[in-house]
Amino acid sequence: MPSRTPPPMVRINIPTVNVSDTWTPTPLRKQRLGTRLIKLYLPCLLILSLVINIYFFTRPEPLALPSTLESTRASVIRPPRQHVPVDYKQLTDLVVVPGHGVFMGDGSPLHEANWFLLNEQRGEVGAFMAHVGKAIEIVKEHDSALLLFSGGKTRMDAGAHSEAQGYWAAADKMGWLTSDVYLRVMTEEFARDSFENVLFSIARFREITGNYPDRITVVGFDFKRERFVDLHRHALRYPKIRFNYVGINPPGDVAALAVSERRNAYDLFAGDLYGCSERLVQKKIGRNPFLVAHGYVKSCPEIAALFDYCPANPTAVFDGDLPWLS
């Protein structure tokens, strides 16, 4: 059998390609998407950068919290006060100091700049402090006496500081609230006029002691004596023999003050014992800018009728039962 000859081999020459000459196409859709993202995010980044820069240059100064906290901690650390214990139920005498200006609590209470005052009260701070000091002297001499500084938050520009709080703070600044009287000096913080100074202080005495006072002493301006003794005491039918008034005037001539007192206060209350006329009511409204209200009607039910008593005859005296007459 003849042998089979294999077919001849065919050589194929494959051309070589340089890698550097190759080109890889980028899809058109990816190109458009990248351009859109750049156009979208670049303005957002610019706006965000602008906002951050504006805030950085206009932000308020941060509070110095570490130093603030440190100073607060230091101010709290002080020796505890030594108090002479008080059985409030045994107190029988009420001492009242009607408030006028508002001591703001900083600096010396002897300096007028540290008080909120009306223009006509300039030069009277010394007399205010004399009232405070005299009242504390009385309480020191009578172990059965309770002193109340009376006066509400009467001035919007003074902030939420009551006249009573200011007087208490002034006494404390002076170092007058010693251990023997500290627990017997308190505040009545709702009164808006002189009649309320007396009536509300009687009510506050009832809240603290559970009783009504056997004797009342008011410490104030001497040129206001007749208003308190002849009008307010009379309107409350408080026995004259148990009602005392200690008068201390500011230095100098008080003739003009006495004339103003007669025209703007005494005569008004003489014709309207309980302060129900439009003029006196508007005064009280103006002296209550923070719209606070007392709770004496509930805490002193025995005299609840007095707080809103407005008779048809404005000079008619309340004829109901009163605990200090029984």
pLDDT in tens, 6-31: 656 655 555 555 545 554 555 555 55
- In CATH, which superfamily holds the domain spanning 89-315? HUPs (3.40.50.620)
Q: Taking the complete model, does pTM exceed 0.85, yes or no?
A: no
Sketch the domain layout of the chain as residue ranges: 89-315
- Dig out the tokens for 137 from the structure: 């002297």
The tens digit of pLDDT for each residue in 166-214 reads: 999 999 999 999 999 999 999 999 999 999 999 999 999 999 999 999 9
Whether 110 and 125 have beta carbons less than 8 Å apart is answered as yes
DSSP state of 60: P
Percentage of the chain lying above the pLDDT 90 cut: 69
Q: What is the pLDDT of residue 68?
A: 47
Give the separation between CA 215 and CA 199, rounded to whole angstroms: 13
Of 15-24, 144-153, 232-241, 269-278, least confident by mean pLDDT is 15-24
**pLDDT score recorded for residue 247:** 96
DSSP secondary structure of 22-57:
---PPPHHHHHHHHHHHHHHHHHHHHHHHHHHHHHH
**Whose structure tokens read 């009277």?**
124
pLDDT value at position 232? Answer: 98
